Structure 1
Amino acid sequence: MTESVFQETTAEPRTRAVPLSHLSLELGHFYMEDFEAGRGHLRRHFERVRPWADAARAATAAASGDSRPRISTCFLIDDYFTRFAGPAALVPLLLEEADRAGIAVDYLARESGCAVNGKVPVAEAVAGRIVEEPPPGSYGTRPPATLTGWLANGERSPTAHAPQAMRRAVAWQPPSETAARRHSVFLDVELWSDGPDGQRTWSCPFLAAVWQLARLGLLRNRGEAVLVPEPHTASGFPDDWDELPSLVRLNPHADPFAAYRTCSVLPNRFLPVEHAVRVILDRIEVEPEALRQAAQRATRESVPVPDSVADRVSYVFYAGA
């Protein structure tokens, strides 16, 4: 006689753990205009990146106490906002110039994968985890970010209204940052825009925030990891971006894609975008089990990891195009 066993689904493991490196080192984030600028532009980029990438490696070794820390490199290409040529034409050019500078790219990612990966609406799922913190003294007059598509790190200036009879007009007040240090650096971030046809376009800062969560190994969809690297086994690259996986492992011997911390080496024109990324990360309720798994593993390895997700992210901004 066969005996049936019934189990609560909540009793089953729901969140899959992912392997973690010590550092995910981003070697660049290119838009199509970067490729249009020609091979020389790519060459200058990697020449500027090389010394900072070496410094990030040395800093990680010192912080982890490991002479050979696990460090993976990645590169993000924008195929979401604009498309120019295809992977077959652009990726070999990118890898040639990286190799010329003595830099190995372990993983290649498409930005559109941060919006939708296969059938998983990644950006929409992350947007659903936004938790707003009303600034002290506010009265809930500002609509939530889930309705407006705007997220601030404080309180906006009040909107001027026509005064009612026998009442004075409200005087202008400055915006204020919630966690300001002496003076405010107020930022209001556009997360998305909706076109007349109802098509939603996610903003660059929001997709960059999703990208950071993926690199930290904190994205899940029904317990499964999102943006899992697929090995590059073909002799070349496809002509169409949609035929290239969202995340490709170029180096079969690479350390894990996700890591306890991230570092991105970028030109300084990305500084405003990455400021917005930190604001967004501070308002995302990350999958608790994914956070717990990373914390437990870091403790076992004696790797110091900040509680704040935003503080696990670091940057090097270099001057120039």
Structure 2
Amino acid sequence: MTFDFIIIGGGIAGASAAAHLSELGTVVLLEMEQALGYHASGRSAAMFEENYGPPSVVALNRASADHHHSANGGYLTPRGLMLVSGPGQEQHFVTHLKELQLDEITFREAQDLVPILNPKTVTHAGLHMLAQDLDTDRMIQDFAKVARAAGGSIVTRARVTAIHHTDHGWRVEAGGQTYQGAQLVNAAGAWVDEIAALAGVAPIGIQPRRRSMAQLPAPGGHDVTQWPMLMGVGETWYAKPDAGKLLVSPADEDLVQPHDAYADDMILAEGLARYEERVTTPVTRVESNWAGLRSFAPDGSLVLGPDPAKADFIWCAAQGGYGFQTAPAAARLLADLVGGRPSELDAPIRAALSPERLR
């Protein structure tokens, strides 16, 4: 069977692209693992924070807000974001306070919300309650449902082994099957440059960067469910309540090769130590740990749209740590570009996201 679109990659990028491109034609999505969202998308501590990211990402965040709030009953639950700093970090604190549009609060106000904050090491705190948790699994599954309802196919355990450009588009060999398609969408996360190489398309210089996470029992037996997400100045660590436990990350960004990522014990220990500096309850047990790969273009913005040298090769790449919060608007933009439709995003933002900027 011949499809209008072959999408490679079953994370949030590929699933959202499948939903929106199914408005324009027939879609098949190929995922190399046994389920959607296996790699970075399934290992995300996803939040919706409109002010987080470079200007092009913030524009996508804001254009995605209505979907997050209202589609399928909404995907958001209240969380809040608290920034804490220590001695000697005052200048950085002021900068981040402004960037994230937080309000400075007193230590007592901060401690009322997070009782384990250490009065000896936390000198300043900022807060807003606009940041919200995202239901990541339901988002992926709902986008997949839209694609299937439009007649799209989603194929798992379909590792791509060969890609050929033909007179009629693309022929992709994956999982022992051959797929024909007019246009090829590269949504393969950390593997997008490898897919481009198979297709004979110049890479974009993707940079897969590891992000590690540790799951801790609720510190001191506290009920953490209403705590805001905590972030250290400079994003050198963060902690986020999750299902009655606490997720702590060193916010690492080590450049690695594409692989099924796992946490580095030393890096994780360093991040936990930075978290411990700001709290009164030491880490005595790590229940589990994992890592995902956040993939960036050299300039930190997403890469969305047809390749300038091969217009039927479409990039949906470099989501970095912003994939879930930008997905609704990013996928709409992709479909608008492919379908020749006007976009809700202005020209400078579209240019900042275009593959042409990297050529």
Q: TM-score, normalised by structure 1?
A: 0.26
Which of the two has higher C-alpha Rg? 1
Q: TM-score, normalised by structure 2?
A: 0.24
Structure in which a larger fraction of residues adopt strand? 2
